[in-house]
Amino acid sequence: MTAAPPQPFPAATILGYPRIGPRRELKRALEAYWDGRATLGELRRTGAELRERTWKRLTGLGLRTPPSNTFSLYDQVLDTALLLGAVPARHRAGTDEDTCFAMARGTGAAAPLRMTKWFDTNYHYIVPEIGPDTAFALHAAKPVSEVRQARALGLETRPVVIGPVTFLLLAQAAPGSPASFTPLDRLADVLTAYERLLAALAAEGVGWVQLDEPALVTDLGGAELAAVRTAYERLGALADRPALFVASYFGSLGQALPVLAGTPVEAVGVDLVRGDLTGVEALAGKTVVAGVVSGRDVWRADRERALAALLAVRERAGHVVVSTSCSLLHVPYDLEAETGLDPALRRRLAFADQKVSEVVELAALLDSAPARAVPAAPDRTRAVPAAPDRTPVHAPDRAPVHDPSDAPAVAEPERAGRSPYGVRTAAQAAHLGLPPLPVTTIGSFPQTGELRAARAALAAGELDEGAYEERVRAEIAQVIALQERLGLDVLVHGEPERNDMVQYFAEHLGGFAVTRHGWVQSYGSRCTRPPILHGDVHRPEPITVRWTAYARSLTDRPVKGMLTGPVTIVAWSFVRDDLPLRDVVFQVADAVRAEVRDLEAAGVSVIQVDEPALRELLPLRRAGQEEYLRWAVEAYRWATSAAGDRTQIHTHLCYSDADQILAAVDALDADVTSVESARSGARLLGEPAVKGFARGLGPGVYDIHSPRVPTAAEAGELLEAALRVLPADRLWVNPDCGLKTRTYEQVEAALANLVEAARRARPPVPTTSRAVSGAVTQLR
Ligand SMILES: CN1c2c(nc(N)[nH]c2=O)NC[C@@H]1CNc1ccc(C(=O)N[C@@H](CCC(=O)N[C@@H](CCC(=O)N[C@@H](CCC(=O)O)C(=O)O)C(=O)O)C(=O)O)cc1
Ligand SMILES: N[C@@H](CCS)C(=O)O
Ligand SMILES: [Zn+2]
């Protein structure tokens, strides 16, 4: 057993903090390094400065022992793979950083690792590949050097590392592993590396280590619970180690709580915003790190409720520490930077720094609270905005929100007003006259620096609306010309007017506020500014129609109108929590439905309503998933079912593990669905549900999250694989996601290869039908 910890757990803490930089300094440094505009030394200096700034800020706000190793150049799961030596041979490079970037982004020769959503957030992690032969070897330079860097500044820190069970549960079996193999089979070997890590940190004089185990809030089977027990009994038994703090977040520990309680770990973190107090008394004798300040929203905490929960934990378990419910990675840095927000709204908000202050204040309140003055303890501490601008739910042309206890709405496509798929598809084929394996894109084309600069100039008042509009129209004209030249079949306008696919809509809808500097990391160097949905949603006027109509005026080929779906708009915003999520989603669905109607009325025959976040909002535990999918699908269908049969509705999901919810995706009743698959095609296409997928499907054949350009042969192989499970008349050819993050050079080359691959894979067209299809094109 460990010696007594050198210091007690501080009374207030946070589980993690943003790292991209208050002004996205890390983003700029990373992109400069990747583009060859900066040296590795410069990138390292930026990282060191950001860490120093963070620790000083956190101690300045009142935290005694801030976390360390929460900084990452790309992703914390990827860092853990590097820490444990789980690096595929194809990615090994001369420096740790280049190895890290090769794993995340690929190289000319090596495809990157898969990337997917971090639980139910809009953050993406890199999926480690673990096989029976992975040679684990501790490489502790990063956490150790961070401890030393902080100490040189006079600060003690608590290193944070992903825990062994979560690491293995999030990993995937390396290619070529036997079918019976799962990464969890390697627990014993991974634990040896963790033991060495703990010994190395103990040798550095580290008092506490935080092991993040968010996977413990999902439904775990017997093998997984046994792994939790094995892991923490074994690490706890280590003779010379720091005290162990196992942090759970994003929900309740459920059955994992008594298991952890039975191990020798000294502290357990519980999420009391999404989870509750159930079973907390089992933790008596340990430190309970109580997450009462939400790390997932931007609302001020309800102090009374938070304090009541803290007192209840103290009463039931003994020693309690005040904390955030999860890392603050998912919220912006500092509300102080948002001078433009409405003051009434601003008073209700807390960003990361304000949340740190809330934690510190609550710890002081708890400290001064009499030992037994426990108000009736609520089982949940969810903060409610103090004064929501709530008016009666606005639902101009919608039936009352679907009651989940009703018969499943998704079973009856006709009810929503469109004919069954088979009828629609014939009408669309006659109207659109597309070839088999039509080639299209997901919507966005590269957002050039010039375009972003024009938008920044518009915001700064340096460019007038007219000039900006001209700039956007010029971009649309170029994008249309490029697609015609490359030979795409269904064109897009390229979304040049959008800063982001959610923020843009939020800026044009009532009920939302947007921030100037409220950046939150989404993956690698990519960030978003999630809008704040604080009131009832309404659409004052059409949003996208003029751009799509302009694009149509430039070409004879069909142009796809491009909208973001209601679930995604809500998922990627910070949402009011005084209404059920479902009602908020339906308010947004009303607005999207109106936009679909207006696009159709303007003559747009193909409309894509993206729902990349459909999978993301799925409750982490099975209980509740069915109900969620029912209303989410219903909201989508409400948004799209105003369209007539001739209008082809597309949807798009990316990094959504779509294979897990294919039945619900089918139930969306979109005519065509594009999904991520270039990095995980075999998995998706191996799903029995794909064979049963009854509508058009476009499994992505170009991984747009990597700078690599796929060859026509590579894209062709993926198409051939898709053709083995799907009929040619329902298969579409498209990238995985939008092209906004790529350069024109990459996009042109990649799309040319996609068109070539589609042409090679198309069944030969008989001369007569070619003539008919030509005639349809003439008529359009
Ligand atoms: C498709 N995905 C999206 C997700 N979430 C979203 N909200 N949006 C998405 O598209 N989740 C899943 C996936 C993957 N995630 C992302 C997230 C973010 C990006 C991305 O490309 N982000 C851009 C920022 C986009 C943006 O808001 N751009 C603005 C501001 C641009 C800017 O930096 N301006 C400069 C000044 C201009 C200049 O002089 O250059 C500044 O403010 O300093 C805009 O275009 O106006 C990013 O760069 O991170 C992609 C996928
Ligand atoms: N239409 C969007 C979808 C991204 S998920 C785009 O192309 O960027
Ligand atoms: Zn996408």
* Atom 12 in ligand 1: residue holding the nearest Cα: 122
The ligand minimizing its distance to the Cα of 676 is 3
Determine the residue of 119, 528, 570, 676 to mutate for testing ligand 1's pocket, defined as the one with the most ligand atoms within 8 A of the Cβ atom: 528
Rounded to whole angstroms, the Cα distance separating 691 from 442 reads 23
Quick: pLDDT tens for 615-664: 999 999 999 999 999 999 999 999 999 999 999 999 999 865 777 788 88
C-alpha neighbours within 13 Å on the C-beta side of residue 147: 20
Question: In this predicted structure, what is the pLDDT of residue 752?
Answer: 98
Ligand 2 site, residue 562, Cβ cutoff 6 A: yes
Question: In this predicted structure, what is the pLDDT of residue 392?
Answer: 33
Question: In this predicted structure, what is the pLDDT of residue 59?
Answer: 98
Question: What does pLDDT average to over the chain?
Answer: 91
Question: In this predicted structure, what is the pLDDT of residue 515?
Answer: 98
Sequence-separated (6 or more) residues with CB below 8 Å from residue 559: 480, 490, 491, 492, 493, 548, 551, 552, 604, 606
Rounded to whole angstroms, the Cα distance separating 274 from 297 reads 11
Quick: pLDDT tens for 37-49: 999 999 999 999 9
SS3 299: strand
Ligand 2 site, residue 610, Cβ cutoff 6 A: yes
Rounded to whole angstroms, the Cα distance separating 416 from 410 reads 9
Query: How far is the centre of ligand 2, averaged over its atoms, from the C-alpha of 729 (Å)?
Result: 24
237-246, 378-387, 546-555, 694-703: segment of lowest average pLDDT: 378-387
Token output for 107 = 């190289």
The amino acid present at 274, given as its one-letter code, is: R
* Atom 15 in ligand 1: residue holding the nearest Cα: 522
C-alpha neighbours within 13 Å on the C-beta side of residue 368: 5
Ligand 2 site, residue 501, Cβ cutoff 6 A: yes
Rounded to whole angstroms, the Cα distance separating 327 from 296 reads 8
Determine the residue of 117, 441, 444, 572 to mutate for testing ligand 2's pocket, defined as the one with the most ligand atoms within 8 A of the Cβ atom: 444
Per-residue pLDDT band at 692 (split at 50, 70, 90)? confident
Q: How far is CA 568 from CA 431, 500, 586, 619, 643, in A?
A: 30, 12, 12, 15, 20
Token output for 491 = 């064109």
735 burial level (CB within 10 Å; 0-12, 13-18, 19+):
buried
Question: In this predicted structure, what is the pLDDT of residue 333?
Answer: 98
- Average pLDDT for 590-601: 98
Q: How is residue 377 annotated by DSSP? A: P
- Average pLDDT for 458-465: 96
Q: Which of 652, 630, 724 is nearest to 685 (CA)?
A: 724
* Atom 3 in ligand 2: residue holding the nearest Cα: 738
* Atom 4 in ligand 2: residue holding the nearest Cα: 738
* Atom 8 in ligand 2: residue holding the nearest Cα: 738
Query: How far is the centre of ligand 1, averaged over its atoms, from the C-alpha of 215 (Å)?
Result: 29
Query: How far is the centre of ligand 1, averaged over its atoms, from the C-alpha of 298 (Å)?
Result: 20
- Average pLDDT for 4-26: 90
Per-residue pLDDT band at 459 (split at 50, 70, 90)? very high
pTM: 0.93
Ligand 2 site, residue 649, Cβ cutoff 6 A: no
Catalytic residues: 705
Question: In this predicted structure, what is the pLDDT of residue 777?
Answer: 30
- Average pLDDT for 18-43: 98
* Atom 6 in ligand 2: residue holding the nearest Cα: 738
Query: How far is the centre of ligand 2, averaged over its atoms, from the C-alpha of 501 (Å)?
Result: 7
Per-residue pLDDT band at 194 (split at 50, 70, 90)? very high
85-89, 522-526, 575-579, 707-711: segment of lowest average pLDDT: 707-711
Expressed in percent and rounded to 5, the helix, strand and coil fractions of the chain are 45, 15, 45
* Atom 1 in ligand 2: residue holding the nearest Cα: 443
Quick: pLDDT tens for 465-502: 999 999 999 999 999 999 999 999 999 999 999 999 99
Residues with CB under 6 A from ligand 1: 122, 447, 449, 452-453, 455-456, 499-502, 522-523, 526-529, 572, 612, 737, 740-741
Order across the sheet with 287-293: list the strands: 67-68, 158-162, 208-212, 243-247, 267-271, 287-293, 319-324
Question: In this predicted structure, what is the pLDDT of residue 420?
Answer: 95
Atom of ligand 1 minimally distant from the CA of 572: 7
> Does 399 score more than 70 pLDDT?
no
Ligand 2 site, residue 213, Cβ cutoff 6 A: no
Token output for 619 = 């409750």
pLDDT above 70 covers what percent of the chain? 90
Query: How far is the centre of ligand 3, averaged over its atoms, from the C-alpha of 397 (Å)?
Result: 30
Residues around the ion ligand 3 (C-beta < 5 A): 612, 654, 737
Quick: pLDDT tens for 537-573: 999 999 999 999 999 999 999 999 999 999 999 999 9
Query: How far is the centre of ligand 3, averaged over its atoms, from the C-alpha of 652 (Å)?
Result: 6
Question: In this predicted structure, what is the pLDDT of residue 655?
Answer: 66
Query: How far is the centre of ligand 1, averaged over its atoms, from the C-alpha of 526 (Å)?
Result: 6
* Higher pLDDT among residues 7 and 163, named by residue: 163
Atom of ligand 2 minimally distant from the CA of 564: 1
Atom of ligand 1 minimally distant from the CA of 503: 7
- Asked if 610 and 564 touch (Cβ cutoff 8 Å), the reply is yes
- Asked if 90 and 685 touch (Cβ cutoff 8 Å), the reply is no
> Does 313 score more than 50 pLDDT?
yes
> Does 167 score more than 70 pLDDT?
yes
Question: In this predicted structure, what is the pLDDT of residue 660?
Answer: 75
Determine the residue of 522, 656, 703 to mutate for testing ligand 1's pocket, defined as the one with the most ligand atoms within 8 A of the Cβ atom: 522
- Average pLDDT for 293-312: 98
Give the other-Cβ count within 10 Å of 479's Cβ: 25
- Asked if 442 and 701 touch (Cβ cutoff 8 Å), the reply is no
Domains of the chain: residue spans and CATH: 25-86+125-378 (3.20.20.210), 419-779 (3.20.20.210)
